[in-house]
Chain A
Amino acid sequence: MELGPYLILGLLEGLVTAAVLSLMALGLSLVFGVMRVVNVAHGEFFMVGAVLAWIIANAVDSHPAVNFLAALLLAPPATALLAAIADRLVLKRVAYDPERTIVATIGLLYIIQQVTLMTYGPDARPVEAPFNHRLSIPFVEWTESGMALYWPWGLGTTSYKLAVIGAAVLLLGAIWLLMTRTRIGLVMRATQLDSEMARAFAIPVDRVYAAVFGLGAGLAALAGVLIVPIQQAHYLMGHDPLLLSFIVVIIGGLGSLPGTVVAALLIGISDGMISVFFTPTLAKIIATLGVAFVLIFRPQGLFGRKGL
Chain B
Amino acid sequence: MTLLSTRGLSRNFGGLKAVDNVDFDLPAGQVRALIGPNGAGKTTFVGMLSGRIPASAGSVRFDGQDVTTMPAHRRIRAGMAYTFQITSVFSRLPVAENVALALRWRTGDDAVATDRQVAEALERVGIADRADQLAGDLSYGHQRLLEIAMGLSQQPRLLILDEPTQGLADSEIADFVALIRGLAGDMTILLIEHNINVVMQTADAITVLNFGSVLASGTPSEIRNNAAVQAAYLGTG
Whether A and B touch (Cβ < 8 Å) is answered with no
| Contacts from A to B (Cβ < 8 Å) | none
